[in-house]
Chain A
């Protein structure tokens, strides 16, 4: 089943081509729907080997990009699977409990945890900032998101012992609402990169929000919205930074939600009109019955030489 040369007949696909197609379907599944896609995909492929290999390659990418949350055993809480918390492909750090979760991507579960070792954890200096920020973000998330999860990871400079160097923390907020019985699923993902710049004593903040929703009862409609943000604040003590950052995040996210609402409210009368009006300018239905009108139009057209 290894892949063949290029002279395959058109309808015959190589193993690798089928695998790439399978991966494409898995990777493009909407939030929370990868398992339904997997089921249909298996039926269409009817080839276990191709499916399994595609799944092994696609699931980790999907899980990280959707930042799925997996429950850790012994009620330790949830770990967020993301590229920011990745230690190895199957190991993800939960900085809050200083544990590393070992996960099975295809099954989307956390199989076990182990305590994180020193090289995997940030230094005490960094941890002070990370911890303070995490506490503030948790407060914000629990206030604003009915079912939100968050984490703060250090992605750069985690071994910095004290002031004098730059480091970077990443705040992740993720919320998913899955309602397959109502044919509706949605997800919210925010990623905020906080770059602590020592020399300028400034925190450079970059945010990326992505919201998606999928409604598919007798139809198929998808929302895909995203926005980038930029802000900054001064480098202060860990607690003060944490509060400033959380306020900035809260401010931008709230504003974004409000502007999404505005975009939605403009839809029926403005945006949608550019595609199709609700009614003609005459504000009446089209006069199909009015044959006189048509003859008139036809006469006019003929006169102006507009006919075919």
Chain B
């Protein structure tokens, strides 16, 4: 299992789906472990009834059907499926609405979905997902990207309320890939993924959504900066190490 994860870390991030399915076929006995530990680019389905897209993940899946956060129905329809309680569903509805606005503010496009369900510890788990296609042909406002994908998965475990406080444990995963293609720099592609955790104990009086929203915003911002400065920065450093910029390069002239 360790070895399998090691392999996935080394394969090109753009090929992570192929790598994962290759591993699943080699070691099917570990498939549930692999699927739970590895994130793949998010898939989307259209909820015809509400006319909106929603994101697919393990958290809204039951058998081979997925529950739309807009209509709360499974597609394709499923008998005896799992649903959140009506109280949680109300929170889920509000979360989807607010998160859509958040998404629009930061992503200027894209698709978001929030799913919630009760967990065994009298708390609940919420999953906030965002998928953005930033390419020129997608929602890329500035037309910089030939290809660009950002997938964010935020899973928050909310503990039961104790003395007006609750424990929030957030695990965020960002997967991204971007490619520019122009005259001077040719094809330039960066892709990768990172995952971080954040735990906080906050007052329930502020509202679960507010608490969760703030944590997500903070961690997403940190991850974005980290990807940009640290991760991409390291690859830039590496290029300069391989071939330092030649400030003083003399063209060799034929000896006269």
**Residues in chain A within 8 A of chain B (CB atoms):** 11, 13, 17-18, 21, 24-25, 28-30, 33, 36-37, 39-45, 136, 139, 143-148, 175-177, 184-188, 209, 211, 213-216, 218-228, 239-240, 243, 246-247, 250-251, 253-264, 266-268, 270-282, 285-286, 288-289, 291, 294, 297-298, 308
Distance between B208 CB and nearest chain A CB, rounded to angstroms: 11
Please determine whether A257 and B12 come into contact, CB atoms closer than 8 angstroms. Answer: no
The chain A residue with its CB closest to the CB of B236 is A264
**B150 in contact (CB, < 8 A):** yes
Complex CA gap A298/B101 in Å reads 11
Q: Which of B57-65, B119-127, B163-171, B248-256 contacts A (4 or more CB under 8 A)?
A: B248-256
With A33-B10, A251-B251, A308-B70: A280-B190 Cβ-Cβ less than 8 Å: no
**B231 in contact (CB, < 8 A):** yes
* B residues in contact with A226, CB < 8 Å: 186-187
Complex CA gap A225/B101 in Å reads 35
Q: Which of A215, A216, A247, A298 has the most CB of B within 10 A?
A: A215
Distance between A271 CB and nearest chain B CB, rounded to angstroms: 5
Please determine whether B180 and A280 come into contact, CB atoms closer than 8 angstroms. Answer: no
Please determine whether A222 and B12 come into contact, CB atoms closer than 8 angstroms. Answer: yes
Complex CA gap A278/B249 in Å reads 38
Q: Which of B10, B145, B176, B221 has the most CB of A within 10 A?
A: B10
Provide the B97-122 mask, 1 if CB < 8 A to any CB of A, else 0: 11001100111100000000000000
Q: Among A43, A257, A266, which residue has its beta carbon within 8 angstroms of that of B239?
A: A257
Provide the B1-18 mask, 1 if CB < 8 A to any CB of A, else 0: 011101101111111001
Complex CA gap A30/B15 in Å reads 12
Complex CA gap A220/B107 in Å reads 23
Q: Among B140, B187, B225, which residue has its beta carbon within 8 angstroms of that of A274?
A: B140
Please determine whether B7 and A37 come into contact, CB atoms closer than 8 angstroms. Answer: yes
Please determine whether B243 and A276 come into contact, CB atoms closer than 8 angstroms. Answer: no
Interface size on B, residues (CB 8 A): 94
Please determine whether B15 and A177 come into contact, CB atoms closer than 8 angstroms. Answer: no
Please determine whether B9 and A260 come into contact, CB atoms closer than 8 angstroms. Answer: no
* B residues in contact with A253, CB < 8 Å: 243
Complex CA gap A297/B246 in Å reads 55
Please determine whether B241 and A146 come into contact, CB atoms closer than 8 angstroms. Answer: yes
With A184-B234, A186-B235, A221-B231: A144-B107 Cβ-Cβ less than 8 Å: no
8 closest A-B pairs by CB: A227-B186, A221-B192, A43-B3, A219-B194, A186-B238, A280-B105, A213-B235, A223-B235
Provide the B118-155 mask, 1 if CB < 8 A to any CB of A, else 0: 00000000000000101100011111110011100000
* B residues in contact with A136, CB < 8 Å: 252
Distance between A225 CB and nearest chain B CB, rounded to angstroms: 5
The chain A residue with its CB closest to the CB of B144 is A271
Provide the B211-239 mask, 1 if CB < 8 A to any CB of A, else 0: 00110010011001111110110111111
Please determine whether A289 and B140 come into contact, CB atoms closer than 8 angstroms. Answer: no
* B residues in contact with A286, CB < 8 Å: 102, 105-106, 213, 217
Please determine whether A225 and B214 come into contact, CB atoms closer than 8 angstroms. Answer: no
Complex CA gap A276/B106 in Å reads 6
With A222-B13, A258-B245: A243-B144 Cβ-Cβ less than 8 Å: no
**B19 in contact (CB, < 8 A):** yes
Complex CA gap A281/B254 in Å reads 57
* B residues in contact with A24, CB < 8 Å: 18, 22
Please name 28 pairs of A and B residues whose Cβ atoms are closer than 8 Å in the assembled complex, sorted by A: A21-B25, A25-B11, A36-B10, A44-B23, A175-B243, A177-B238, A186-B242, A213-B239, A215-B235, A223-B239, A225-B185, A227-B185, A247-B252, A255-B184, A259-B184, A260-B188, A266-B144, A268-B229, A272-B224, A273-B141, A274-B143, A274-B145, A280-B105, A280-B106, A286-B213, A286-B217, A297-B101, A298-B97
Distance between A84 CB and nearest chain B CB, rounded to angstroms: 21
* A residues in contact with B214, CB < 8 Å: 288
**B81 in contact (CB, < 8 A):** no
Please determine whether B242 and A211 come into contact, CB atoms closer than 8 angstroms. Answer: yes
* A residues in contact with B237, CB < 8 Å: 184
Distance between A20 CB and nearest chain B CB, rounded to angstroms: 9
**B26 in contact (CB, < 8 A):** yes
The chain A residue with its CB closest to the CB of B99 is A286
Please determine whether A257 and B243 come into contact, CB atoms closer than 8 angstroms. Answer: yes
**B76 in contact (CB, < 8 A):** no
With A24-B22, A30-B10: A211-B239 Cβ-Cβ less than 8 Å: yes
**B206 in contact (CB, < 8 A):** yes
Please determine whether A254 and B246 come into contact, CB atoms closer than 8 angstroms. Answer: yes
With A21-B22, A45-B26, A294-B98: A221-B217 Cβ-Cβ less than 8 Å: no
Extra A-B contacts (16), CB below 8 Å, given A36-B10, A186-B242, A308-B93: A13-B25, A40-B6, A42-B3, A144-B246, A145-B242, A175-B242, A177-B241, A184-B238, A211-B239, A223-B238, A250-B251, A262-B185, A263-B185, A270-B144, A274-B144, A275-B132
